[in-house]
Every structure is written in structure tokens, then in C-alpha cells.
Structure 1
């Protein structure tokens, strides 16, 4: 099996399937849509771990397939996301979305197994194209354009950094580095932009909710986590990532607490949870890097489940605003259970995958004696229970019904959500499964009495805060002001005023110019008339011009 599947990348299966999908119809299309991710996931585990095969191209040693343990962790996460996303969205009527979703997932697999900077950049751009088309397939051209522009910027920064690195180091191999040059800072900036780093985080909440009920599931899984993997490979232990990751975690918490729309709330939550991973990468120890990878895996599981629950609500009611929902636990019990399991895993409730991965991150911070970041992330983790374990379920699932359920989730949608529930609870109850993927966390105390009690007390404290802050956490219809206001709304306010003032200035200058032109014409005509007729000049004018010429002469002499 090793010799048969070794040379083939999981990315090839998904991208080729995505290109072939528009040529098929009906059952064949759906069959390929589901079979390709299953085959790619199987190939992730069939590939033997090793350095990969180098290819000489234009004098560069490319390694398009480098299956190490980190690639296997992220390849497994991306594979599960593709399989469950395809199962969930198999009833989606848009062939364009299905095709681009497979290409998008294939690009993520390509990044996971890339062994050189050139291969990384190629799949990085395919990732941006695929995700943009997933958004456009739902008819949101403007949101897709804004998303594309942001990722074009990220791609340009990454390309500039890679070019500088190749010119300086003379090779394309991926290796750990520090942001100690302009080229490497450009590279780091491009990666962080895809990760949703603050202050350019708003693109996540702007774009992801604009996708369809099924497209948002794919979007939540790949782009930001692929960026985390690249950070692990290129910038482990980079000190700047500690503050950047903490800013992302706090930003995601605050905006998720303020948000009324379920899918925007979950999008802000993505930024916050990726912040945990970025902090762990900034620590850079083997335990911290393994914890970041496992948290990426757990995050893909529970965030895909939450996006599926939100998509089911959108498809069933046509509504995702908390202020317009309520009572869905009675009319959509399966979706309600799925949302609760996903939310509790995000909040790190014991016996869930999120509890295992966050415990590993906090253990890595404690091992590195990063006390400030340990306390900060512990507080943010408890705070996430406010919006995901209390606010979201309370206003969407319980209370008085405000929305009519017109369409129950399809069987395939329920099957996908059920599979993710099992994958979240299984590793939570048996952490040894995750320890086989990342042996570095084997020494982390997870299912111990004191650790479980500590986490439960933190969640109880968050519940008390929820009761005390009830008036502030009430969902309100309206617009949440974010940093993207600077490039989305401010130009609309400034440009009309700028044009109006420019027009006024142009009219004033035109009037002044016309007056000067008329005065000069009159002066020139009078001067020519007097010179022609040899007329006498008035004494006052002669004195004025003589004085002016004398002053000019004195100034020139002084200089």
C-alpha cells in the first residue's frame, strides 16, 4: 500500500474531483462529491511518514509531498472537515459550490503536505481562489470581492517575503525562522492576515456569514487553520505571536459577546480560538506546538458542528438573528443537541475534545512559565462560555418561539452532525486517541479530579457573570462597528465631502485665475499702447517700479 499510494498527494484527489464535478450530474456528482474526501482522508493515513521526494525544477529542490506527523494531524483535520462537510451539503443544489469546495479542501491538504516555499505559495493561492468562489457561489459578489482583495494582499505579502527569503538564503526549503528581516516580516504578515490576526480580523465575520448554509461549514475549517500550520512550520517561538494571539483571543471574545447574528458570532469566535493557537505557536516548545495542532483539530470539529447547526437553523427558518429566534429546542431537537455539544466543547467542558486541547495549551504555558498568558487565556476560555454555552443556546434554543420552522434538516445533514458529535466526545472521554497523534501531550494531566473541578468552577463563575450581566448580553438588532469601517464606510463619508470641497476650491481658483488674467491683459495692453505712442509714465508708477527693482537688487546682493 505504501508503494502504491506514496507518490500521490491527497490534494490531487480533491482538486481533480473538483474539476471533474461540473461534468457530472445527479447521483454521479453527489457520489464523487462524497467519495473524493473519503479517499483523500484514507490517503492521509496511507502515506508513510518521511522527508518526502525532492524534485529539481528550475534549479530549485521542490518537495510537493512531505508527510510528517504535523502534516498527518492537519491532514486528518482537513480530511474530516471535507468528509463531514460533503455529507452535510450533499443536498446543496449549487454545483459550483460543490466543485469549488473540493478544490478549496484540496488546497488545504496541499498546504498541509507542502515541503517547500514554492509549493506552499501555489496551494496558498489555490486556497484563496477556492474560498472566494465558495462565497460567490451563493450570489454575494461584493462580499466575495472584499474577501478576494484581502487575500490578494496576503498573497502579495507572502510572495514578497518568499522571494526575499529565496534571494537571501538561496533555497526554498521550509524551516523554522525568526522575523529578523524585512522579507521575513512580510512573510509573517501575509500568513497572519490569513489567520485573521488583529487588526485585520474583520474579513472573517464579513465573509463567512455571506456563504450558503453549507458553504460556511467549509470556510470555517480551512483558511485560518492552514495559516496556523504554516506558522508552526516557519515561525515557532516567534515572540511577536504571543501578543498577536492574545489580541485575537480578546477581540474574538468581545465581538462574539456583542453579536446578534449566529453565524457572525461564530465567525468572531473563530478569530478568538485561532488566537489560542497563535499564542501556543509563539511559545514554540514541542508541547506548545503539539497543543496548537491538536487545538486546530478540535476547533475544526466543534466549529464545523456549530456552523452546521447554524446552517440548519438558517435553512429551516430563513433567520439567524438571536433576537428573532427562540424555542428551537422543541421544534429542532437534534440540531439543538448538536449546537450544545459543539458549544460546550468550544468552552472546554470536560469530556470534550476542546477540553483536551485547551488543557494542553495551558499546560504548555505553565511549563514555559508564561503566567500572564496563562491567566489571560484561562479568563478568555471561561468567558467564551458566556456567548457559546449560555447566550447562544438561551436565546436561540429556549424561550418563546419567534420563528417558524419550515424545513427540517435532511438525513444527510443529521448524519454529518451526529458523526461530529461522536468525534468530539470520543477524544474527550479517551484522550489517549489524541496522544497517539501528538505524543508530546502524554504527560499533561487532563482527566484528573483537580483539573476537572477547576474547569467546572470556571464555567460556574462564567454562569454567575451571565446572570449579573443579563441586560448587557440581551441580543439587539443593529450593526456592530468593527475595524473594517475604516475601508468600507469611511470612504463613503469622506469622498463626497472631499469632492464637494474640491469643486468649491476649483471654482475659487478659477475665479481668481480669471481675475488675474484679465488684470494682466489690461496691464499688457496699456503698456504696449504707451510704448508705441511714446507716452509719458506717471511719476508715481515710475517711483513704484524703481523701488521694487531696487529692493530685488538689494535682496540678490544680500544673498
Structure 2
């Protein structure tokens, strides 16, 4: 079987290059069927190495299966199919093929058994995602794509240095658990965290994702940060530092999402917040916590895609993206409003939705590990999630004051994608056993206990009450929220203009002056050495004796001093 086994990620990548050659119904069918074929191939990969090859005296494993890799490869395939269905009417001929290269590379990372293969697919993801962003075709998208690519190339260089150092130190390329016991492992961790959206280099996410097309943002939300979660589970489980990194991300995302006015920037900051929950679970490192991080990544891809589908539908049908410009859309977009509300409830961990059965595992792991402060902070963060994504997004976009806009529902393919993902959000919440069966460790967790349900409902109830009490302070205006990217977008260019350029000019003047001095001095020396020059003349013995005496006296003075 190993001789005829096909790599699922490569199938999706190769298929992506064939899509531009197709037209009409054939192309539309291929857009949905291709990821489903890849999903079937994912489940043909057996446990253990399936492909191995020799490269520079090392054994690479481009294809390897186990429960964790199969879980992530499965959700990446489903996301590619759902995103392709949603983007069926996208006019850009580049976006969907680029997105499938992006998704295929994410599957390649999930199924890689060595660090070299991980790095190759990791960098290919950066190329695919940049093309998804660039395909929007606007000046804002081009500029965001350049900034996005610079950050990810920086992360790639750091990761490459770490992988190289690890291989030199250990002589092994196997991708397995690593301790923070060497500079190489620290570099690998930093490279992973860049893609996870960990501050201070997290602003690439909220800067780039909202500038993609109405469908491109859906693709972008699914793969980069979640492959980072996967490699952290694989490489750094139980690293205590990740608990605090995750908690910082949780509150960082909440604060900025509450301040934001752009509906897709709200959801972009929410991605940072939700990935923070997963990274905190990875840092806790118990089987329950790692199961929770993996389950939450699976559920998050679905409900975040659903939220961004509803947001993308609004952007497409209204041409507006600011909460202050929207409201009352449920009158003419009831299906979009209903699906967006389901996604909002799922991200808020409302009972009978997917978020309830996944996020609670991380909190329970903190409680089981007697990490009381971690549990309290995660619980407080759950209330913040309901404020910014569970209520703020649907309320300001669909249900607040009537904006006077009366857009129609989006095209049928977009509606079907939202309905399918809404069904998955509810189905996994009502019947979580299939998801639990996919997790890397045995699950001994019952989400629907009386205490857990009542506690969560109380938390959501008081969060909702706080939202409406504070509503006058939460209404957004046409403002811009500054993030850490202000440093490299405004401060550094300003310093370059006001300090760097004058220093550069001064340096060029010094170099020019030195060049002139050396040139003229050389010319003077050469002039004196000509046939009729001073040093070519015949000097008298008396003059030579005088100069020798002067030199000897100078040497004696220097010697005694």
C-alpha cells in the first residue's frame, strides 16, 4: 500500500494549478470535489511513516500519519471544500487556486514527519496566502500583501535558523517534542509563534486579513494560525511559557476587538484571542489540555469561517465594512444574519454549539491541574469573547439601528456554504463524540453536566447584560485603532526620513571628502616622484645627514616618552 499511496497535500497543490484551465460547470464541480477527494486520501494514510527518502545523509518523511495529523488534515480539507463553495462566484481566477496551494501546504505540514518537510510546506503556505491576499487587486491589498510577506519571510528565516541548528546539534531531522534547552529550539519556537499571531508580531493578521476579498478572508482565517497550533502541539507540549503567551494573546485580542470598528478587523483580532486559548492549553500540556487545544482548533476553523462568510456576504452585498455604517440588515438578509448569529454563539461557547464542547476542555484542564489563576483568567476571557464576537459583531451589523440599507441575500453558493458550516457548528455541539474520537488522546470528559451548563449560561447572561449596560460606550465611530504595526508602518519610516536620510547624506559627504583627500594626496605623491619631482632630484650629503639626524632625534624622543 505504501508504494501506491498518494500525498493528499500534493494532490490539492497540483489540482490548484489545473483549476485555471477549467471553465463553467466543470470548474465549479472541481472546486468542491477536489478537496473532498483530498479528504478521502487523508484517511488512507496509515499510522506511522508512509513515505521516506534519503537526502544529504538524512531520512526525510514527507508523509506520516497519526491521530493528531489526521485531525488537522481533515479539517483543512473540509475548510478548503467549504471555502471553495463560498468562493464559487469569485471573479478572480487566481484566488481559489492560490487558496488551494495554501490549503495543500497546510495539509503537507500536518502530515510531515520531519522538520525539513515542515519548513518547505511552511514557506509554500506563505506564498499561497500572499497570493490570496494579492488577488484582491486593490492598492490596499498590494501594500498589505507586501507587509504580510515581509513578516512571514522574517519568521521563515528564524525558523530556518532554528531547524538548521537543531539538525547540526542532534544529527536528526525527525519532527518530535523539543525542550527549550538550546538556542535552536528557541528559534524554532519563535518561528512557530510568528505564524500563530503572538504579539508583538501579531499585527500582520489584523492588517492583512481585512484587505483580502470577501472570500479570501475566509481562506486566510483557517490555515496559518492553525498549522502553528498543530506544530506547537507536536513540538512544544507542556512548555509553561506558552500558558502566559496564550493568556496575553487572549486579552490582547479581546481589547482590540472591542475597540475596533471594521467588522472583519473585529473577527481578525478574535482569531488572535481564540488561538490564545489553544496555546494556553498547549502550555498546560496534559492530555486533557492538548485534546482541548486540538478540538478547539477544529471547531474554531468552522465557526470562524462561518463568521467571516457572513461578514464577507455583508461586504459583497453592501460595499461597506464599518460597523458604524451598518445595522438592520436582518430585514433583507435573514439567512446571513441567522448564520452569523450561530457562528457568534459557537465562538462564545454557548451550549449546543461546537465551541461549548471544545473550549471547556482547556478550562477544565487548568482546573484539574490546580492552575486556579489560569482558570480564572480563561473564564474571564470567555466573557470577553461573548462581548466582542458573540454580541458586538451580530448586533452592530444585523440588529442595531436601521441603517437604511436593503441588500439582498448573497448568491446561492455562498448561502449553501454558510448553511453547511452552521449545521456543523450545531451538530458538533449536540453530538461531540465524532470530534472526540478524532482527538489524539482518549477523552474522559462530559461537557453537558448541570454545573457546567449552568455556569456557562450564567457567564453569558451577565456578559450580555454588561454589553447592553455599556452600549453607549461601545458604539463605534469612524476611528482607526493603532496596533504594534504602527512601529514598522509609521515610526520606522518616519525615523528613516527624519534621521536616517540626513545621516545617510552626512555619511556620503564624509566618504566623498575622504575619497577627494586620498585622490589628491596620491596625486601629490606621484607628482613628487616624477623625473623632475622633488624626490627624484640629487640631494647633497649634508642634507641627507641632516635628515638622518632629525629622524634619530625623533625616535629617541618617542622612545623616552
Describe the superposition over 1:243-293 as per-residue Cα deviations: whole angstroms up to 9, x where unpaired: 111111110010000010110000000001001111111111122111111
Q: 1:198 to 1:169 in 2, by over 3 A?
A: same
> Shift of the alpha carbon at 1:501?
5.8
Distance (Å, rounded) in 1 between the aligned partners of 2:242 and 2:77: 27
> In structure 2, how many angstroms separate the alpha carbons of the residues matched to 1:144 and 1:63?
32
Q: Secondary structure at the match of 1:63?
A: strand
Aligned to 1:480, what secondary structure does the other structure show? coil
Partner of 2:151: 150
- The 5-angstrom pairing of residues 532-547 of structure 1 reads none
Q: 2:331 maps to which residue? A: 330
Q: Deviations over 1:342-362 (max 9, x none)?
A: 011101101111011111111
| Correspondence for 1:226 | 227
Does the 8 Å contact 2:35/2:77 carry over to 1? yes
| 1:328 and 1:396 in contact (8 A); partners too | yes
Helix, strand or coil at the partner of 1:450: helix
Corresponding residue SS for 1:180: coil
Q: Which residue of 2 aligns with 1:235?
A: 236
2: CA distance between counterparts of 1:235 and 1:302?
A: 26
In the superposition, the TM-score normalised over structure 2's length comes to: 0.88
1:347-496 correspondence runs (5 A): 347-402=348-403, 404-438=405-439, 440=441, 442-496=443-497
**What residue in structure 2 maps to residue 523 of structure 1?**
none
1:2-17 matched pairs, under 5 angstroms: 3=1, 7-17=5-15
- Aligned residue in 1 for 2:82: 84
Retained in 2: the 8 A contact 1:14–1:37? yes
| 1:294-347 deviations in Å (ceiling 9; x for gaps) | 000000010000010000000000011100000011110000011111011101
TM-score (norm 1): 0.88
Q: Could you tell me which residue of structure 1 aligns to residue 92 of structure 2?
A: 94
- Among 114, 131, 134, the residue aligned to 1:133: 131
Q: Give the whole-Å Cα distance in 2 for the aligned partners of 1:508 and 1:454.
A: 71
Shift of 1:364: 1.3
- In structure 2, the residue matched to 1:167 is 168
Once residues 270 and 285 of structure 1 are traced to their aligned partners in structure 2, the CA distance between those partners, rounded to angstroms, is 23
Aligned partner of residue 65 in structure 1, secondary structure: strand
Say whether the 8 Å CA contact 1:317–1:403 is kept in structure 2: no
Match of 1:521 in 2: none
Describe the SS at the equivalent of 1:61: strand
Show the 5 A alignment for 1:14-29. Answer: 14-29=12-27
- For 1:145 and 1:507, locate their aligned partners in 2 and report how far apart those are by CA, in whole Å: 29
Between the aligned partners of 1:507 and 1:176, the Cα distance in structure 2 is 51
Deviation of 1:187 (Å):
0.8
Distance 1:87 1:183 in 2: 41
* Alignment partner, residue 107 of structure 1: 105
Q: Distance in 1 between matches of 2:362 and 2:35?
A: 29
Kept in 2, the 8 Å contact 1:324–1:402? The answer is: yes
Contact 1:315 1:407 in 2 (8 A): no
| Shift in Å, 1:403 | 5.3
Residues 328, 405 of structure 2: 8 Å contact kept = no
User: Is the CA contact (8 Å cut-off) linking 2:329 and 2:405 kept in structure 1?
Assistant: no
Deviation at 1:9, TM superposition (A): 1.7
State how far apart, in whole Å, the 2-side matches of 1:128 and 1:396 are. 31
Shift of 1:28: 2.4
* Structure 2 unmatched ranges of 5 or more: 515-553
For 1:334 and 1:384, the matched residues in 2 are separated by 23
Deviates more, 1:90-99 or 1:25-34: 25-34
Give the secondary-structure state (helix, strand or coil) at the position aligned to 2:5. Answer: coil
Contact kept in structure 1, 2:83 and 2:215, CA below 8 Å: yes
Query: Is it true that 1:344 corresponds to 2:342 in the alignment?
Result: no
Quote the offset at 1:502 in angstroms: 5.0
State the SS of the aligned residue for 1:64: strand
Q: Which of residues 60, 63, 80 in structure 2 aligns to 1:62?
A: 60
Q: Could you tell me which residue of structure 2 aligns to residue 298 of structure 1?
A: 299
* Count of residue correspondences: 519
Give the structure 1 partner of residue 532 of structure 2.
none
Residue 276 to residue 26, structure 1, CA distance change in 2 (3 Å): same
What is the CA distance between 1:505 and its match in structure 2? 7.3
Deviations 1:369-399 (Å, cap 9, x if unpaired)? 2211111011101111111122112211113
Match of 2:189 in 1: 188
* Counterpart Cα distance in 2 of 1:451 and 1:424: 19
> RMSD of the TM alignment (CA)?
2.5
Counterpart position of 1:497: 498
Secondary structure of 2:34 counterpart: helix
Q: CA deviation at 1:404?
A: 2.8
Partners of 2:189 and 2:88 in 1: CA distance = 37
